[in-house]
A and B are shown apart, each in its own frame.
Chain A
Amino acid sequence: MNIYTAIQNLANYKKYLQVEEFTHTYLKKKGYLKTDLPVLSPALIPESYLEVFETELRHNKIYHKLYLTPSPELFLKRLLAYGAGNCYCLGKAFRNADPSGGLHMPEFTMLEFYKTKANYMDIASEVLSLLRFIADNMTGGEQISYQGKRVTFSRWEKISVIQAFFKYAGITEKELFNHRLFLKIASKKGYKTHGFTYQDLFSQIYVQEIEPHLGKGGYPTLIYDYPKEFAALAKLNTDGRTAQRFEFYIEGVELGDCYTELTDANEQKKRFIHEQKLRKQLKKKTHPVDKGLVQALEYGLTDCAGIAIGFERMAMIFADVTSIAELKLIHINI
């Protein structure tokens, strides 16, 4: 591990600063409250797949365990429940076990914003409008050039998860929702299924066969309505088997993840317990569950939707580079 200084990235870094400035300007103009939130927390939202950083506070020889937050969600939702209204946080987030690669860093910048009385598709419109605003301020139009290709922010290219699995992997709707059939077809395709779950194989086929096609048509792609197994904090659709979640992609790069928020405190508690159990099974570091958030939800979370955007990844598109490291003046090389 070493500290890497890359002054040659100065021009890219300045583009990053522009993207940051225009993001703040846009959200302020649209009435979102900018929030400054802690990154150390004594409890977290249990999410089965996340590895967290743990540290401790020493005070009078008493040790308090603290965790670096993998996202500001637990704080922003409290603020929403207690009436802060539309709000956002642009700050550092931490994911352990993510080595520094092209699109990952264990310490990265996340833009998370929430809109009240809104669902995931309202957030989709807001994101498109934000992308257009940044592009317009940087290039004077709704188009940018990324790695020699033109990307236009005039509309989304929308595809549902069901459509995408059929179009790119030849998996039917029936097979997608039936775990046994899904594992069978995965095995037929040559994937290892013994000892693995539906979630594992869904993830593998998604990355192997679907993701490479997303955002390649000159417009950003919005892929929406995931099976409910992949949305611990999202509201279900009326079909009862998909959740109101979308992700968006530009040139095969995943940039953001959005839900219509689950507002039912009891359902939320149930899902938290389930996720925490999964974490134990997966031998992830266990941490206290944020009970304050459950209380806040009991107090009443208004109908809202929110999105988390990998901010460096978004800036990468506008700076026309292919890795997060190229935006950094200093980073830790692992």
Chain B
Amino acid sequence: MKINAGSLKKGDFIRYSGDIWQVQKAEFYSPGKGSALMKSRIKNIMSAKNIDYAFKSNESVETLDVECIDMQYLYKDTESVYFMDQRTYNQYTLPLSVVGKAANFLKEEKSYFIYIHDDKALTMRPALSVKLKVIETEDAAKGDTVSGVKKPAIVETGVTVMVPIFIKVGDLITVNPETGEYGERVKE
């Protein structure tokens, strides 16, 4: 569908110079020198790269009809991540490069939101944090209470996260799947 760039909003998917992008930010701007503009930050869904672009507010932009579907994570290999739509049992594939770091924190049988266009998976909707169980980490040396010191811990998905020294095996922690950073210790 073609719309005026002036109506773009956060979350919209657009086609721009041949690629598919998701709008991260769109702010109307009237510089008082010619036409009003839509200052936007758009993310290329293949490369996950963000760029800033000022569209003329009355320039037409092609938006894509995109659905967000809750899907079960199946498995991943060296190239792709596989999901299943639990209503239709159809399988969808996303390249690892599109999922990014978040692929390290996917738990089998859990479900995630996947964006679908023309029956093809575009990308995964990023979660702000995921809860993961610590399966391996060294106990802190007694008396080692310097704050801010971190140590590695392996979580249930098999990847290593830097955590504060008070974290023990069996603790449940939150991790930002986009950055891989530790958030906090939580209860079940």
Contact in complex: B30, A204 (CB < 8 Å): no
Pick from B17, B33, B36 the residue with the most CB of A within 10 Å: B33
Residues in B160-180 with C-beta less than 8 Å from chain A: none
Partner of B54, one of A99, A101, A199, A208: A208
Q: CA of A230 to CA of B32 in the docked complex: distance in angstroms?
A: 8
Contacts of A196 in B (CB 8 A): 35, 56, 59
Given known contacts A104-B28, A192-B56, A208-B54, A203 and B34 CB-to-CB distance under 8 angstroms: yes
Contact in complex: A49, B37 (CB < 8 Å): no
Given known contacts A190-B17, A200-B35, A95 and B30 CB-to-CB distance under 8 angstroms: yes
A257 lies within 8 A of chain B by Cβ: yes
B39 lies within 8 A of chain A by Cβ: yes
Contacts of B27 in A (CB 8 A): 101-104
What distance in Å separates the Cβ of B131 from its nearest Cβ neighbour in chain A? 30
Q: CA of A197 to CA of B53 in the docked complex: distance in angstroms?
A: 19
Binding site for A on B (CB under 8 A): 17, 27-37, 39, 52-56, 59
A67 lies within 8 A of chain B by Cβ: no
Binding site for B on A (CB under 8 A): 47, 49-50, 95, 97-99, 101-104, 190, 192, 196-197, 199-204, 206-208, 211-212, 226, 230, 254, 257
Contact in complex: B59, A192 (CB < 8 Å): yes
CB < 8 Å A-B pair total = 72
Contact in complex: B35, A199 (CB < 8 Å): yes
Contact in complex: A101, B56 (CB < 8 Å): no
What distance in Å separates the Cβ of A169 from its nearest Cβ neighbour in chain B? 13
Q: Provide a sorted-by-A list of 14 A–B residue pairs whose CB atoms are within 8 angstroms.
A: A49-B30, A49-B35, A103-B27, A103-B29, A196-B35, A197-B34, A200-B56, A202-B34, A203-B31, A203-B56, A204-B35, A207-B39, A207-B54, A254-B31
Contacts of B31 in A (CB 8 A): 203, 206-207, 211, 254
Q: CA of A50 to CA of B36 in the docked complex: distance in angstroms?
A: 9
Q: CA of A24 to CA of B74 in the docked complex: distance in angstroms?
A: 66
Q: CA of A212 to CA of B53 in the docked complex: distance in angstroms?
A: 11
What distance in Å separates the Cβ of B20 from its nearest Cβ neighbour in chain A? 17
Question: Which residue on A lies nearest to B57, using beta carbons?
Answer: A97
What distance in Å separates the Cβ of A315 from its nearest Cβ neighbour in chain B? 20
Q: CA of A208 to CA of B30 in the docked complex: distance in angstroms?
A: 13
Q: CA of A206 to CA of B30 in the docked complex: distance in angstroms?
A: 12
Partner of B34, one of A97, A98, A199, A257: A199
Contact in complex: A203, B59 (CB < 8 Å): no
